[in-house]
Structure formats: structure tokens, C-alpha cells
Copies of this chain bind each other. A is one copy, B any other.
């Protein structure tokens, strides 16, 4: 017996049959609903060009990237003054957005315009493992390339609402804002273009540290006190009085009208338990957002939890094409959704009837597989030998959703009590 660990790599998780059944049910709904809404699915590799992964505006992600080492003769460890770049070859993608941009630029001619696309796949980030945050996780993104009208935003949000609704994750509030609103306010209260991105990073922490915390941190960073006062006043005022108050802080009418149109239209299509509201404190970290930004929150009496988000990033394609392409994306937070579903038992009736077909040593194998075929019309059917420890086996089966057994050897169907 070798000494081999049975635990998965630090920061990653195995997904057992019980959790996997929920996950596959949810993924199936996602695929079906997004396809029905006209999104075309594609897949890009997990291994991605390092140049691409480090060329963007993706915040901390490139820092937390997994990189693969060169192989064979290409790996020369004897070189003097060896640097990391001498020995690494490729990276594991940290999101689906950056590879999508590469794909779009490389396949422009064959894709419809606008291109409505669905991606489901693993991404990797070597962050310090925390509760609920894995270094390897499944992402579900929809994106629309080539539509500057807010029809794209409305389309994404309505589609995502339908998913949350059908997987039972509700009530939900979508909170929407616009980077242009934030930029116009920052500029109105006196910050210059160089300061704006640093201010944004601090304001992004508003839901963690509150408006006071934002104030203190901006002061600590030596921003002009008068400007900081003005900014915090503005945010406070807008938070209190609503979106139209933005007009008093240098925000253009068009920018406000755009958000209002999205909000009005989406609310018309919102199922019960869903709504969309303007929230000035929605910022979203990534540098690449250029317009609308939104986050979805599961809201119950006692807490509120982010379960998805997205926004418009009209400048990301520039580095491939030499011109901007309107782009807007939405990412369902699969892991937080699954956690909520399990914690609060949100999903009913996702299980198909399952039966275990028990045989003993003398079974006629053709008869066994005939019986299985017959039962497969109504059940998912597993075959297994008569268990030695009957009680223990029945407990395990019940836990995995089996609601009956059929004994070949005395032709008996037994249904478990609940």
C-alpha cells in the first residue's frame, strides 16, 4: 500500500453524486433556457496563451494565475539568472471573457452580428482558499457582442431572471448602475482623469466598509478633503433621493435615460419575486467595464447575497481588432446559487425516480437485464447484488435519492417510506 493522499488539491473540491445531481439539474436548465433565448454555445480551451491572459485589464486575476511549465528540451534550468518567464509556457484561464474576446476576433467572419454567446466551463484562480471560493470553479456566462443599444442589456437580464426563477433561487433584486454615471460624478466633484480609477477602487468597497469607510480610506490616500466631502455627499444624496438626483451632480440626461429604460422594460417582464432597481453603490471591480454594471442579490429577511453580475465592456475587443466592439456580459454565480439551493432547499422535484434492482448469485443474467430494461421506462435503474449489510445499504441508497428497490430473487418491489 503506497502512501497516496485521497484529498483533492488544496483549494479544490470533489463533487459527489448528491451535489452533482443538483448541479447537473441546474446546468441543464441554464443550457436550455439560454439556448431558448437565442444564445449559441461555444467552448474555448482551458489552456490559454500567456500573452493574452496578461494583456488585459483584469485586475488581480493575472497575478493569481496558474501557469504550466515548459516540457522536455525546452525547459533549461541551467541558464544563469533564471526568470519565471524562461520556464513557463501557458496559463490556465481565470475567466471566460478574455478567451471569448480572442475567439470572437479570430472568427469574426463566420459569426452573426450581434453574436449572442453562451459559455460554461472551468476557470482557475490561485486565491487563498476561503469558504465557498474554490481555486477551480465552473462559470456560466452569456455575452452579446455587436449591439450598442440597451436591448442587449434587457435581453441578458430577462434571460438570467428566467434561469433564477426556474432553479428556485428567489426573491432576487437586480441592482444596476453605470460606470459613466460614476465617472461623471467623480469628475463633477473635481477628481481628474488620473485619480478616477483609484477613487473607483475605493468606492467599490462601499458594501463592505460603508460610506464612512470610503470617506476614511480616501482621506488616508491623501485625496483632497474638499473633493472627498463633495463625493460622499453626492453618493449619499443620490442613494437617498434616487436616480434623478444624479442630474444635480453633472450626470448627463442620456446616461440616466438609458438606465431608466432598462429598469422599466425589465420590470415589465419580471416574474413574481424579481425586481430591478438603480443603486449608486454598484461599482464592480474589473477595469474593463465601460457602461452599465449590474449585480443580482438573493434577498431574504435576514441577509442578502450576491449571486451573479455583469456589465458592458465596449473596449475589450480593441486590442485584437483596432476598433471598439459593443459588448455586454452576464455571469450567473453558479457556486453561490448551488450553496443557497442546498442550504435552503430551494429546488423541489429535481430528482427522477430511482430504483435499485437487487440480484443474488444464481440470477439469470438475461432475465436481470430484461427486468432492468423494463424498469428503465419509469426509473433510473442501478443493478446491485443482494447486500450483506442490508440496512446500511438502504440508508446510503435513500440518501442518494433512491425511493425503491426491486428484488429479482423474489419478484418484489419495495418502496421506501419518506
A residues within 8 Å of B by Cβ? 1-2, 4-9, 12-17, 20-21, 23-24, 28, 31, 35-49, 51-52, 55, 66-69, 71, 75, 77-78, 82-84, 87-88, 90, 92, 102-103, 105-107, 110-114, 116-117, 122, 124, 126, 135-136, 147, 149, 151, 154-155, 158, 261, 265, 268-269, 318-322, 352, 354, 356, 359, 363, 365-366, 368-369, 372-373, 376, 380-385, 387, 393, 396-397, 399-400
Contacts and interface: CB of A to CB of B under 8 A. Distances in A.
- The residue in A23, A110, A318 that gathers the most chain B C-beta atoms within 10 A of its C-beta is A110
Given A24-B41, A41-B24, A107-B14, A396 B112 contact: yes
A154 to B, nearest CB: 6
A369 B103 CA distance: 28
Contacts of A48: 8-9
A86 to B, nearest CB: 9
B384 A112 contact: yes
Nearest to A64: B71
A43 to B, nearest CB: 4
Contacts of A102: 4-6, 8
17 contacts: A2-B55, A2-B320, A4-B51, A4-B319, A5-B102, A6-B102, A17-B42, A38-B382, A38-B383, A75-B84, A77-B82, A87-B87, A112-B396, A151-B363, A151-B368, A261-B365, A265-B369
A136 B45 CA distance: 7
Nearest to A365: B265
Contacts of A28: 28
A387 B115 CA distance: 13
A28 B369 CA distance: 24
Contact of A43 (B20, B105, B383): B20
A197 B338 CA distance: 47
A157 to B, nearest CB: 10
Contacts of A318: 1
Given A14-B107, A154-B369, A376-B37, A46 B269 contact: no
A319 B106 contact: no
Contact of A77 (B16, B36, B84, B106): B84
B321 A114 contact: no
B319 A2 contact: yes
Nearest to A43: B15
Nearest to A381: B38
A23 B118 CA distance: 14
Contacts of A116: 382
A38 B13 CA distance: 24
Q: Which 5 A-B pairs have the closest CB atoms?
A: A38-B382, A6-B106, A17-B40, A12-B45, A1-B322
Nearest to A148: B385
Contacts of A87: 69, 77, 87
A372 B88 CA distance: 48
Given A4-B320, A31-B24, A14 B38 contact: no
A292 to B, nearest CB: 15
A84 B68 CA distance: 12
Contacts of A268: 366, 369
Given A14-B107, A31-B24, A112-B393, A44 B400 contact: no
Nearest to A399: B110
A330 to B, nearest CB: 15
A10 to B, nearest CB: 9
